Every structure is written in C-alpha cells, then in structure tokens.
Chain A
Amino acid sequence: MPGLSNTLGLVGERPVDEIIRRLTLDVSRRLDGMLHGDFMGIVPGRGSEPGETRRYSPGDDVRRIDWNAYARLEELVLRLFVAEEDVTLYLLIDTSASLSVGTKLESAKKIAAALGYVALSGSERVSVMAFGDGLTTALPPSRGKKRIATLLMQLDRLEAQGGTSLARAVDGLLSRSVRPGIVAVISDFLDPEGFARPLDRLLAQKFEPVLLQVLDRQEVEPEAGGDLTLIDSERGDRIEVTLDERAIRAYRARLHAFFGELESWSKKRGVHYGRLTSDTQLEDLLLGYLRGAGR
C-alpha cells in the first residue's frame, strides 16, 4: 500500500498488520500531542460528563442553563456536556480528477485519516464517503479504535477520477436516510455548479458541515510559464493562456475572491472553514478545527 504509506509518511513494503499498527501509532503520535489539553471531542452536545460552559443564546435549550452559575454570576450560562449520543462523523472526500493534481488527494486522505482517527478514538461513529460525479461509501458508519486500520485502508484505496458534483454527493447522502451528524467535506470546492446550495441543503437537514479545502501549491502560487494551453483535468476544457505577470495577477484576484466566498458563506452560517495548501499546514488545519469543535 504505497499510497497510504506516502500519505502518512511511511516508506517501504511491510506486512499489513504491521503497517496498520504503525499507522495507528503514527496517527496517534501526530495527533495526541497536538490535542492534549485542547480537545474535548469532535462533537459537542448533550451528555452526563460536564464540559465547558458558554453564554446562553436565544434558541438554546433552556434545560441546559446552569442555574448555579446564574446565581453566582447573574448571567445565563449553558453547561455543555461531552456527547454521549451516537453522533456520526461523515468524511466526505472529493475524489474527482481535479484532486489528482499535485498532492491534493494525499492531503485530503491525511485530513480524513486524522479526523477519523480522532473520532474513532473518542468512540464516535465514522463513515467515509467519496464523491466525484456521484457518491460512493468507502466505510459505513463504524465505531471503535479497532476500525482505524480499516479506515486507513479504505482511504488508501481512493483514487481521483471523474468530475465534481457536490450537489449530487449531498443528494446521495441525504437519500440514504442517514442520521444527521458532522459532514467534513474535504475538497478543492472547484465545482462549476458551486458549493453553497448543496451545503445549505445539508444545514437544512440538521447536518453540520465542516469545509476543509485542499489546493495544490501551483494552484495557489502559479509561476510564469509563457504561452500555455491549460487543460481541465475533469472536463478536458482547454484555455490558451500567456502566463505572464498580468495573467497571474488576474488569476490570484479570482482565487482570493473564491476564498472570500467560502469564508463569507462559512462565517454567516457558523460553519468551520479551513484551507490546506501544503503538507506543513496539516497540523494547523486540524488544530484549528479541533480546538473549536468541542465548544
């Protein structure tokens, strides 16, 4: 499984069991130190274990108000508990052909592996789904640390091909009558049909989307390259470009506008949005999400 080995920084051919063990250790090591003291679980919610508190906001469940704190602080505070419920983390991974460029698919797998590891380690249910033109289930909802190896193996089998249709992926997810949960959408979001409408549908169906964008370095920082014919890896479209400073400047402007759209959409809906443009940012991306996830 050279692909997965690359994904998690392993090299060489080893027996499957050993690889799974090392993978588990590797993922655990990379995440445990990072999460120590910062992470209470992926899914905040109701439960018996007391967790953090936060100010009451209109619409919150009044039964969760900490009346003791109210007596002391004279303000309404909600007491949050570590989830006890059977909450599912859906890892929705973009496997369209556009992810084949550079290290985008590997980055997506790393993110999925890390989140899956954390979730499974916290006794949460994890499901892996790959989407391109449609939606395929790579790992049905599973729970327990023992499933980590299966998770990693399933991730390793994912290959980039076909087009991108987030709308169809969401349709596929909702049509399976799955229970609402967290949907971590790991994609470049370069979908000609747009991302907002399908994600809004998820929100409407009580799912909590998390947007994790992966891009190749060349996509973020293109270099001047003279007269080029750019070929779209999904649709085969060809565009003739003279890759000079002006063209790059115009492209960057469009790219940042695209980032702005994603950020704006996420901020308005209280959805987490993170962006990974190189391997070195993987920890920051995950930490940024996991730190906020327990609240």
Chain B
Amino acid sequence: MNLLSPLSLLWLGLLAPLIVLYVLKRRRTERKVGSTLLWALAQRDLRAERPWQRLVPHLSLLLQALVIIAGAFALSRPAGAGHLPTGARVIVVLDTSASMAARDEDGVRFDRAKDALRALARSLPPGGELSIVEGAGEPSVLLPPTGDLLRIEAAIVRLTVNGGTQAIERAVALSSERLESAPDGSRIVVITDGSITGTLTLASRVPVAIERVGDSALHASTSNDAILALDVRARPTDGAPDRAEIFTRVQRFGGDAGDVHVSAEVRGEVVASRRIHLEPGAAASALLTADLPPDDDGRAPTVLVRIRRDDDRDDALVLDDVAVAASPGARRLPVFLVGEIPESVRRVLLTDGDAELFATSIDGLAARAGSELEGAYVFAGATPSQPPPGEVLVIAPTSSVFGAELGEAVERPRVITWDDNDPRLRFTTFGSVHLSSLRPLSLAAYTPLVTTEAGPAIASLERPDGAVTIIGFDPDHSDWPRQAGFVIFFRNLLEGARTRRAAGGIAPARIGESLRVPASDGGHIEVTTPDGTHLTGRSRGGLAIISIPPTPGVFTVRIGEQERFALRNLLDPEESDPSARVELEVTDGRTSTAVSEASEPRQAWPLLAIGLLCLLALEALWATRKGAAA
C-alpha cells in the first residue's frame, strides 16, 4: 500500500501532546476542612445535574481515540497508487462495452472500473493529467486531459455502458498517438473485462497497463445465460395464416448445467414458451411456434424473447437475457425497379419471397413523393438528383450519381480487396469475381466496399434517412452472378432494408448506440425506452441523434403523429462471455513494448476495518474485566 504523502502522517504526532494535556493534572490549592462528607455528597449532586461529566484520562479513552483515527484512515480508502513523474499524462482506455454491465461476486464490473478510475485520478502527481478514451464502439475521447479532480469525477459520474463491442485495440492506438510527445512517465491504462487480441502497432513507445475487472476464473455464481441469435419466420398453414416460427439460440457461459425458460412475448403477453437444457459452454436452440397477427392498424407485431434461469442463481449479465425481432409481417418489402435492371439482379430479387417488385420510372417515383420509406430502390442507368429515403441501390451508373463521380472505363480490372465487415458483404467473397469492365468510382463521402486495382467497384454512403450502395459495373458482364456471394449480397441488402423499414427508417445499430432518427429540421422527437423512460430530442440537419441507455428491447420513437420502432439487441457471444481474457502484444514498429497486466487497486480498508473491530473487542474485554475486578 502506498501513501501519496506519507510525511503527512507526522501530523498524528500531535495526538501525543494533546493526550498529555488531558492527562496532566491541574494545579490546585490544598485546603484542610473538618470533614469532606458533605462536599462529597455535593459533588455527587453536581455530577448528577450535569449532562456531561469531566473528562477523565483513561486507557479506554485512548483506545477509542485510536479506533477513530484508524477508522478515519480506513475510510480514506488508502490504495495502491502509481508513481508518476511530474506532469506525466495518463490516458485511460475504458471498456464501455455491454459485458461491463455484468455483475460478478465483487459487484458490477463497470462500478469497479469507475472505482479504478477514481484511484488513478487520486494518484495523479502535481501537474499530472488524466483523460478517458472510450474503448467500445467507435473510440472517442470522453474526457480531455485534465488534472482537475472535480472535472474527472464529474466525467466518471456521467460514464455509462454503451452496449457496443470492444474496440480496445483502436482506442489504445488512438491513445498512443495522443501520447506521442507526452512527458516521460506517461502511460496508457486499459480498464476492461474482455479480450484484446492481435498485435498492435503504436505510434509512440508508451507503456500500456491493463487493469482487469471481472473474474479471471469463471465461478459458478458468475455464469451467464445469453441469447445469441433470434430469428422470426412465417410458417403459415391453411388454418393459421399468421403462424410463425421463433428461432432462438441460447448459450450458457460458465457455471453448471441446468434448465432455462425461453418465452416469447407480443405486446406484453406470452405467446409461446419452452424449457431447454443448457450445458456450460454449449449453445442450444429453441424453436417456438406462435400466431402473430397484425394489430388493428395492420402493423406487424414485434416479438420479444426472454430467457430465465430455472435455478435461483443470479445471471451475470441481464442485457443478453432479452432480444427483440420484427415479426414476419414486417418482412414484406416493396422493391422499386427503375431503368433497365440487369437480368441477374432481377432474378436474384425474385428469389426473396417477401420482396414485392414494382417496375417504375424516375417520374413515377417523383409522383409518389411524400410516401416515405416504402422500401428498397434499384436504379439502373439514370438516377434522380437526390436519392429517395430508404435502401437505394444504383447499378452501373452512366454518369455521376448522388455525389460520386465515375472514372474512365477500365477493362478487366482485378479485385484486390473488400470490406467483409460491412453487413452487405457478410459471408461473401470477391476473390474469384472477374469483371469485364468497370467505371471506377471517385469517392468523396463514400466508403469503398469492393476495390479493384483501377479503383472502387462498389461503394456506399450512409445517410440519415437511408443508405446508398453503388455498383460501378454491370453484374451481367461479370461472373459474379454465378457465385453464391451474389445471392448473399442481395439478400443482405434486402435484410438491411427490412430492418431499417421495421424501425421506421431508423438505422439499425448495436445496443446502447444513439438513435439516429431522420426528421425534418427542428422536429421534436420523443423516445420511450423499453423500461418506460421518456427521452426527448430535436432534429438538426434532417437528423435527430438521441442517446439511449444500453437496454435491449423496443424503443418507441414519436415524430409528431408518426410512430416508429427501433430495435436494440446485444446478440454478441463475445460480450456475453463473462470470463475475462486479456491478450495483447504491442509493438512500436520496431520492438515489442511491455504490456503489464495490473491488478485492480488493492484497497486496504477492509483489513483496517477488521483491525478496528479487534481493537473495539479488546477495549470491550478490557473494560469488562476491569469492571468485574472493581
């Protein structure tokens, strides 16, 4: 245990003269009297009258004073503190991912992370500064460098779990850049409960320490049951046109084998439930069947699936015990085809039984202006000046389109890379795709998804009211349609459009991420969270961004008279796994940089508290024995 100012303990030396002052007797004049009989009685009367009695130096008093001193010391929570040179900076990469909301035997991980942050703040040397970088979702600076403990505390109080996935590596890299010219002794401290894998190249040679919250060894009492996947599909029968299958995949992380109840709810009522057996570390599936008729307004209901343990043990993480999904009714998706749609594209769209294709023109679309968010739009050739709201796909444009310029045609460009993290390219590959010709896209605000040696072949643009995907070549002039990835790409595209449409145009996002609600400028937005809390916001630049708690479920968004629903799920096995895993190898470009895994500050106050109790017990024993002797 370290003390920041051990010399300050010398002040305790003042206790000695203080006690001596109490112990020393006052000088008194002696007077002989005939008898002290009446004086003794009078003294007794005086003592009885007074609400207090004269302080008498006593061993008991001394012990009790010691108890108070030790108590004050204990309550100050002395803790291990780092030794930092003057002016050094500490960047704390704080994992705010969903798993940090888990509760272990020692409490909620995020609370312990906050305590660790406070300990770091208290250990700042004179001139030292601390900043906080969020290590989940998109790394961002939550607190600029400051040595002001009040500001740090205020920032700590505001911290919440945002529900995103870990982004420790990126956050560490960002922090490393910021410490490039920092004074000696500066360091990065990562507070996390999860896994950090891979080799990290840092911009500066700064030490990285990892403080783990969460049990390294998974105990039975900290096991977690989680919903990993949820899918609702229509299975109509002759007698039940609204029959649907609710597929749920559940896994138990840690603990012992046991049963779990899986129940599906629609509008607060259980429509189906089932008990399944879970083995530790193994996943199991539950298939529920229920009738999911549309409501009075003809809208498809939202299905909420909840799991509940069959024993009395606490579940480590509640965020993954609930998941929501749109019902099959929401799967019906109108797709508007404008221009000469390549045959391969038309065929692949027809394979989706829930997609309703409508051939129209740009003028026809203009005539439907006002009916927003009707579905997906596929343009071939000419395009309107502005993309309609929703999922927009442009195939083989002939001129600049929606802000993207086209380059000169290139024959047989070779695909060199693609972004398989993008939801549209999930489970696809372009390694064996050959293009006959391409007009590479000249990007401005666009993100390249597939890149050839001549330039981007497919790019996307995220807009507040939708997304634009541009394919710079004609699929019919390539071998892409003959590959499975072609079908998967369009299926991914339509699923994204369905999700967006089910959420009323609100972009799908991970749990805890802010709602991005398209709305006219100045529009007032009201949001009701799954637990009934009301939030408000206002639209600026056609978009309202509203921070929401990391709660899974349906967020009801009201924009004037319109009502939309945004669904938030965790559905992440990495976040649901409560065991802590820390693996990080960091290099600064030349050599490996040591990564020390620091334990949480070891707080000594519990030991001191036990010491206090022992002291009190001794004092009580002593007083009792003395009383008996008297």
Contacts and interface: CB of A to CB of B under 8 A. Distances in A.
Interface of A: 97-102, 104, 164, 188, 190, 192, 216, 218-219, 225-235, 237-241, 246-247, 250-251, 253-255, 258
Contacts of A188: 34-35
A235 B37 CA distance: 10
B228 to A, nearest CB: 81
B618 interface: no
Given A250-B46, A253-B45, A255-B38, A229 B31 contact: yes
B42 A190 contact: no
B628 interface: no
A42 B46 CA distance: 44
A28 to B, nearest CB: 32
Contact of B35 (A98, A218, A225): A98
B40 interface: yes
B43 interface: yes
Interface in B20-71: 26-43, 45-46, 49
Secondary structure call for the A interface: mixed
Given A237-B36, A246-B46, A251-B42, 11 more contacts: A99-B34, A216-B34, A218-B33, A225-B31, A231-B30, A231-B31, A234-B34, A241-B43, A247-B46, A253-B42, A254-B45
B41 A101 contact: no
Nearest to B46: A250
A188 B45 CA distance: 22
A101 B33 contact: yes
A239 B35 CA distance: 11
Interface of B: 26-43, 45-46, 49
A237 B38 CA distance: 12
Contacts of B41: 254
Contacts of A102: 34
Contacts of A219: 33-34
Contacts of A235: 36
23 contacts: A97-B34, A102-B34, A190-B34, A219-B33, A225-B31, A228-B28, A228-B29, A228-B30, A229-B29, A229-B30, A230-B33, A231-B32, A232-B37, A233-B33, A237-B36, A237-B40, A239-B43, A240-B28, A247-B42, A247-B43, A250-B43, A254-B38, A254-B42
A99 B34 CA distance: 7
Nearest to B27: A227
A192 B34 CA distance: 12
Contact of B32 (A233, A246, A254): A233
Contacts of A97: 34
Contacts of B26: 227
Contacts of B36: 230-232, 235, 237-239
A102 B28 CA distance: 22
Given A250-B45, A254-B45, A229 B35 contact: no
B54 to A, nearest CB: 9
B35 A233 contact: yes
A242 B480 CA distance: 108
Given A247-B46, A251-B39, A101 B29 contact: no
A190 B30 CA distance: 21
Given A226-B29, A228-B29, A258 B38 contact: yes
A256 to B, nearest CB: 10
Contacts of A234: 34-35
Nearest to B36: A232
CB-based closest 8 A-B pairs: A98-B34, A190-B35, A250-B42, A101-B34, A251-B42, A232-B36, A229-B28, A227-B28
A108 B605 CA distance: 73
Nearest to B32: A231
Contacts of B28: 227-229, 240
Contacts of A251: 38-39, 42
B38 to A, nearest CB: 5
A218 B35 CA distance: 12
B268 to A, nearest CB: 75
A99 B37 CA distance: 14
Nearest to B34: A98
A121 to B, nearest CB: 32
A102 B33 CA distance: 9
Contacts of A241: 39, 43
A238 B33 CA distance: 10
B51 to A, nearest CB: 14
B258 to A, nearest CB: 74
B419 to A, nearest CB: 91
A231 B33 contact: yes
B552 to A, nearest CB: 73
B471 to A, nearest CB: 102
A219 B31 CA distance: 12
Nearest to B40: A239
